[in-house]
């Protein structure tokens, strides 16, 4: 076929080397390479939330499968006696996990766990390699992450919030297998090295975020003072140092754009800057506060020309006693804002603006804001490095899993 390089062939998941095979999961089961894939128990015997206990056998849901690992940090547990009585879904170290309901296509390998087994929900399928001389489980997990496999998986799952691909349909999924298990291991090792770097970056980012949160708590309350600063902070009211205004509720319908166009201006909602407007209502720098919902009390800066729409509040300094950047850090704290409601909380602005505050002088505010901004810049640099590393891995997946680059 024209366009296919010598030594390569066309398959349903793209062009691959001639010495590689493209199999269905069912073929790998029939060839005794994979055990029959299984998910968790359905129906009446499926454990319910009332069965959960603080210790026992991990009950792994789709949200516990991420970044190639099984995260048991917030995992539910069921009693071992109940787990032993179930019919299927008993997953062992070395199994490759694939999420197949609602959250589609997340993968992991079950590592060493201090349990006899882990129990899967009906959201997760295990793929157990039973012939490691013909298929490497680390390679299989990386293959499941590849763009070609994910494209097929998503197309068969229906998409949307109710996306689902059952075990029967999964058995028809294509699996590309290099003929040499040594090549499979080399591919898996190269990609796992990138995974390890991503994991280290994630850990470092989490540590830096915790350090920044602790620094905010200490610096913004005066518990820790920066070198060169001393003396008492001044007591004042929030309302005396800022002015504020509700977002424009009339911009909800008919006047907002979902994509940026020429001449459009940012329109800030409770979730941030995610829509645009054909005109602007404010000019300069201010702080937007989310007034309702899950981000209730979160604050972010707006600059230049912009709009603020319903469910937001706009705040500006009106006193030389307060620095804009310091103010942004000071009020970007969910505990700062007084709220009401549980299912859909909302900020009590009148009560919050009447709060009494202790503020350092403007020089110390500026120094605090600079220190915290430096932390933000360091976090942003790490996050950018992580994003570039993720993009690198996607490129490697495409090259290695299609055989465009051969490692052995």
Q: Which pLDDT score is estimated for 287?
A: 94
What φ, ψ does residue 209 adopt, rounded to 5°?
A: -65, -40
> Whole-model pTM?
0.84
- Which CATH architecture best describes the domain 180-230+361-408? Orthogonal Bundle (1.10)
How far is residue 389 from each of residues 169, 196, 394, 398, measured CA to CA in Å? 33, 11, 9, 14
> Would you list the DSSP string of 378-400?
HHHHHHHHHHHHHHHHHHHHHHH
Residue with tokens 């699996």: 175
What the block records as the tokens of 391 is 């993009």
How far is residue 337 from each of residues 144, 233, 298, 319, 333, measured CA to CA in Å? 44, 21, 9, 20, 7
Top CATH class of 234-359 equals alpha beta
Instruction: Spell out the domain ranges in the chain.
Output: 8-177, 180-230+361-408, 234-359
What the block records as the tokens of 152 is 């097929």
* Residue 166: exposure state from Cβ atoms within 10 A (0-12, 13-18, ≥19): middle
8-177 and 234-359 agree in CATH topology: yes
pLDDT averaged per 10 residues, the chain (length 408): 84 93 97 97 91 94 90 93 95 96 92 93 96 97 95 84 87 96 97 96 96 95 95 93 89 73 88 85 92 86 91 90 92 85 85 92 96 97 97 96 92
CATH of 8-177, one of 1.20.1330.10, 3.30.470.10, 2.60.40.10, 3.90.220.20: 3.90.220.20
């Amino acid at each position: 076929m024209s366009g296919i390089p010598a030594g390569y062939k066309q398959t349903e998941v793209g062009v691959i080397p001639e010495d590689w095979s493209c199999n269905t999961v069912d073929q790998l089961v029939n060839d005794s390479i994979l055990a029959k894939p299984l998910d968790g128990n359905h129906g009446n015997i499926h454990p319910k939330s009332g069965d959960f206990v603080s210790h026992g056998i991990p009950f792994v849901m789709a949200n516990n499968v991420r970044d190639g690992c099984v995260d048991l940090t917030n995992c539910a547990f069921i009693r071992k006696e109940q787990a032993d009585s179930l019919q299927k879904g008993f997953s062992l170290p070395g199994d490759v996990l694939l999420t197949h309901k609602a959250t589609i296509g997340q993968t992991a390998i079950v590592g060493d766990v201090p349990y006899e087994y882990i129990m899967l929900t009906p959201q997760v399928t295990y793929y157990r390699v039973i012939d490691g001389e013909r298929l490497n489980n680390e390679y299989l997990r990386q293959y499941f992450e590849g763009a070609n496999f994910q494209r097929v998986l998503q197309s068969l799952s229906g998409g949307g919030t109710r996306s689902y691909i059952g075990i029967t349909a999964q058995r028809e999924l294509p699996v590309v297998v290099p003929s040499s298990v040594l090549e499979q291991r080399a591919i898996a090792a190269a990609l796992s090295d990138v995974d390890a770097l991503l994991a280290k970056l994630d850990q470092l980012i989490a540590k830096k975020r915790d350090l920044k949160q602790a620094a905010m708590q200490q610096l913004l309350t005066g518990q820790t003072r920066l070198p060169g600063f001393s003396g008492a902070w001044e007591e004042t009211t929030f309302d005396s140092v800022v002015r504020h205004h509700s977002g424009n509720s009339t911009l909800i319908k008919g006047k907002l754009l979902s994509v940026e166009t020429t001449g459009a201006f940012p329109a800030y909602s409770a979730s941030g800057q995610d829509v645009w407007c054909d005109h602007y209502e404010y000019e300069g720098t201010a702080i937007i506060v989310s007034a309702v919902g899950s981000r209730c009390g979160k604050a972010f800066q707006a600059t230049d020309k912009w709009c603020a729409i319903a469910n937001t509040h706009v705040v500006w300094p009106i006193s030389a006693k307060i620095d804009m950047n310091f103010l942004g850090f000071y009020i970007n704290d969910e505990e700062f804002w007084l709220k009401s409601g549980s299912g859909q909380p909302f900020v009590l602005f009148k009560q919050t603006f009447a709060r009494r505050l202790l503020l350092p002088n403007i020089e110390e505010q500026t120094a605090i804001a600079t220190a915290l901004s430096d932390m933000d810049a360091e976090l942003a640099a790490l996050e950018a490095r992580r994003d570039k590393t993720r993009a690198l891995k996607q490129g490697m997946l495409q090259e290695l899993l299609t055989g465009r680059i051969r490692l052995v």
